[in-house]
Amino acid sequence: MKNPVSPIAGAACLSIALLLTACGGGGGGSSTPAPKPASSAAPSSTALSSTAPSSTALSSTAPSSVAPSSISSSSKLSSSSAASVGKCTVDGKQWNTCTGDSTNWGFENGQYCIAQQFCPANRTSLPVATMRTAPVDANATAKTQAIYTYLKSIWGQKTLSGQQDLTWKDSIDMAGRVFTDTGKYPALMGYDFMNYGMTANWVEGIKQTQEAIDYANKGGLVTFAWHWRDPALLNTASVNDAQFYTKDTDFQIPVKDGALDTGSAAYAQINAGIDLIAAELKKLNDAGVSVLWRPLHEASGNNGDGWFWWGRTRTDGVPQSFAQILLWRHMYDRLTNQHGLHNLLWVWNGQNAAWYPGDEFVDIVSHDIYDSSDNKTYKSQLATYTQARKYPAENKMVALSENSYIPDPDKIATDGAWWLWFMVWNDSDTAAGVTSSGNFWTGEYYNTNAHKTKVYNHNNVITLDELPVF
């Protein structure tokens, strides 16, 4: 769920009480932003078992990290001439199950297939593999490793407080609004590279890198998302018109014969976009800032019908989840190996089991929740939490990477829904204290002032002043 800030980009998302994913949005193509109505995103609680992470899982020895340049053959998307047998339903479509060595999607005998063990219908249990002791990037900086170790140590006991910045309005200080209402600053601030690459003089939100550096220098943690605008329009005269919603762009991940089509114009355009953001991530790295990096967010959209171009429904026979996995892995390789960025902890937010890129490429799993049925009961969202835990084969920490209502810390503890952090979405462009559906923090549309105060002063919630020095 986001606040679209462009008349071109803005369209209300579905508001269905039992969606498995949050409604995606957000974007600035205009200097006159408009708020977006809230949407729900809580799956049915009857469909999932309820198990909190055990203390044993949190402290167990993890398998050794996989070096980004030496991914094992078992983790690659399979390519074989063997015939495929069996069927698996993904996002309402049937696919053959792979017969070759595959733990994910594959490409066999000219056909796309999915590993039987990766088929969502067969992934109903919590992971049994232990959690890694280090980030998936074996060359992660010492500070990034220290942050990972800290996060691992608190998961199952504490929750980091988080607040999303107002990306497209530089003058509004979301961290300041939190402090005004609670007397505390969030431990984690969320930023977005959404408007980077745009050139118009009315464009805001291109100071996010520096704002993140400033917050990190205060002792805070930072996370970045990227509403990735149409890569085909980057470095063109139309860049300021570029959008990211599927309905507003025809851009599609280029796939050919089970791999990214490296000879296509789209592939070069994707690389140009990644390289643009790599320059910003390098500034953060050079400033000593580690980033909880959440690209390609909400990829699966609504039941596999992606809200953004990186999850769009395809007509070329390529599973859109397969295409997103290829792009995720390519981005991981390009940022980590080619650009040498080792200050990233990779936060996957695909929100659908069939879209999971693999344990070697993910540090933290997250989910976005905009639950219109909550009605200020501040549920723990146990069902969604448990579902997110089932996406990986290894135990991974689970975060609430976007939300409207803040889960009650007491209910989190009682239910064992130990979100690693929550991240209240940003406000619309109003004065502080205005109650509006577009204001996710200020006012009392979602969270009452009493609830905010309780959360930010709760023993189980970590605020900026309680973070260690990394």
| Residues carrying an active site annotation | 298, 402
Nearest C-alpha neighbor of 43 from the set 307, 393, 300: 300
Task: Report the C-alpha gap between 81 and 98 in whole angstroms.
Answer: 10
Task: Report the C-alpha gap between 208 and 190 in whole angstroms.
Answer: 10
- The dihedral over CA atoms of 216, 220, 221, 224, expressed in degrees to the nearest 10, equals -60
Give Dmax (Cα) for the chain.
63
Beta-sheet strands, E only, within 30-150: 78-80, 85-90, 93-97, 105-108, 111-114
Count CB atoms within 10 A of the CB of residue 142. Answer: 10
- H-state helical runs in 287-406: 320-333, 382-389
φ, ψ (nearest 5 deg) of residue 255: -130, 135
Q: Dig out the tokens for 55 from the structure.
A: 């203390």
Residues 6+ apart with CB under 8 A from 75: 66, 103, 104, 358, 359, 360
Measured in whole angstroms, how far is the alpha carbon of residue 25 from the centre of its chain? Answer: 13
Residues 6+ apart with CB under 8 A from 214: none
> Where is 224: in which H helix or E strand?
strand 221-225
Q: CA of 268: how far to CAs of 118, 205, 227, 313, 332, in Å?
A: 30, 25, 19, 22, 16
Task: Report the C-alpha gap between 399 and 239 in whole angstroms.
Answer: 33
DSSP code of residue 49: -
Task: Report the C-alpha gap between 324 and 303 in whole angstroms.
Answer: 15
Nearest C-alpha neighbor of 406 from the set 170, 78, 163, 244: 163
